[in-house]
Amino acid sequence: MIMSDSAKQEITILLKNLKEGDKSKQNEIMKILYQELRGFAGNILRGENQTITLQATELVNEAYIRMFDSEQLNWSDRTHFLSTAVVVMRRFLVDHARKKNTQKRISKKDLSPFEDEHYSTSALELDVIKLDDALTDLEQLDQRQAKIVEMRFFGGLSETEVGKILNISRSTVKREWKVAKMWLLHEITG
C-alpha cells in the first residue's frame, strides 16, 4: 500500500501530538497504519515455519500494546514508527519462541533415548533465537546492516522499500543485505 505524502505528513503530526502528551492520537495512528502493520506481520509470519501459531492480527495487537504501553512515545515520523514496530514484532517472536522452548523442556532423566527427539524444540524456534542473538551481535558491528536484515527478514520489505526508509540506494541495500546474510549464516551455523 503506497501512502500519499499528505497521509505521511498527517502521521508525522499525529506522532508529534502523541509525543507532546495527547494519548488520544494512538487510535488515529493505528487506524491509518493498521493495514501496513498487518502487512508487515503477515510477511514476518509467512517467512516462519508452521510451528508459530500466531496470526498477523495477534502480532500487530501485541506490537500495539508493547509500543503504546511505554512512557517513551517519541517516534519522529511514519518511518521511525514502522521501523520500531518491526523491531517490536521481532522481539515478540523471539520471546514467544523462547517461552515455547522453556515450556517444552523435560528433564533428560525422564526421557528414554527414543523420546528425546520428540520433545526437542523445533528448528524454527532455535533458528529464531539464534537469528536474534546473531542479529544483536551484528548491531554491535554494523547497525545499518542489522536494520536492513530486520526490515527485509522480519518486515518483509523489498530492497527498494528499505532503501527509501534508510535513505540509501537499492544497490547499497542489496550489497549490504548479501554481506549481512553471509555473516549471519556463519554466526548461526558457526
* Per-10-residue mean pLDDT, the chain, length 190: 76 88 87 86 70 78 86 80 85 81 52 38 56 90 92 82 89 94 86
Reference 138, options 100, 95, 186, 93; nearest CA is 186
**pTM reported for the whole predicted model:** 0.66
Q: How far apart are CA 156 and CA 170, in angstroms?
A: 15
Give residue-wise pLDDT tens across range 33-64. Answer: 888 888 888 877 776 655 566 788 888 888 88
**What is the domain range of residue 119?**
5-189
Q: How far is CA 189 from CA 29, 134, 177, in A?
A: 40, 10, 18
pLDDT attached to residue 99: 79
C-alpha cell at 99: 517461552
What is the total count of domains within the chain?
Answer: 1
How many residues would you count in the chain?
Answer: 190
